[in-house]
Structure 1
Amino acid sequence: MDTEQKLCILHLLDVAKEPMDRSQVLDILTQLNIFNPLEIDIALGDLVKNNLINQEDNKLFINEEGLVVIEFFRDRIGLDLQKKIEDSIIKRLPQNKWQIHYDRTAERLYIDYEKADDNLLHMEITLDQAAYQLIKNNLENLEDKDFVNLKKFFLNV
């Protein structure tokens, strides 16, 4: 099975930051005209079997092992293809969205808050893995009100 297909699936699930229906994954990757549905379905089965993604009912999500793999091998996916996958996900997400990404290799935390097509907040923070693990749950549960609180804190408004 093509490694690029598996890495694209891992990248897709990482960028989505939430469980996705199997059909959504198939739909996104086939609409990009890069893989056929049978190849994607086989790759999904391999990723589940190799414990890089989990499947509960019809929902797929990337697990810790999958996150480690995609962090180390994301650069094997062309930047254009990464961007196409990210754009496909963004089109399907709610208009207001927190984007959180931690790069284990560089020990950098990237936090963005987007409303519609505008990026209202972008932060890059150097953070070791132990510190990231301590705040990971809080980051995963950020809401719109948290942006307002940050704005008040930094801008005194």
Structure 2
Amino acid sequence: MIRCLDNTEHTVAMQIYDIFQASYKIEAALIGIACFPPLARTIDDIFAAQTQFYGYFEAQELAAVVEISIQDTVLIIDSLTVSPSFFRRGIARKLLCFIMEEYPFSRALVETAAVNAPAIALYKKQGFVAVKKWTPDHGIEKVAMSITNTEQS
């Protein structure tokens, strides 16, 4: 089941934080970097976020979180994380499809590490294409991916 999460509730912010930490530690290891910027995000950062969070629940347990924002008609996927104990069950795809169906958008954007093959494969399967590669100050090469919603164009 997918439902909206109220990140301004401390308990919910803590659950989101826990999923982020567990998932991003795995991603940091995959990338091969110790100082992974998403791991520096605090509970207070999540609590104060102006983005929208949705959670995927399995047997009443929060298994995954997607964080989005909307700018005009552009859907931005700020984060998509799955608890490691729920990996490889198609949950990330379900959350991604839910968001893309729930919000009318002309274009959707997401960024990930250029070496994050599982994430890139997920987005490509949903029709995203790489539109930009760059290396920010933190030194982790990133790729931006985009999809155009032909129904909204």
TM range (shorter): 0.3 to 0.5
Q: Which of structures 1 and 2 has the bigger CA Rg?
A: 1
- Which structure is higher in strand share? 2
- Which structure is higher in helix share? 1
With normalisation by structure 2, the TM-score equals: 0.34
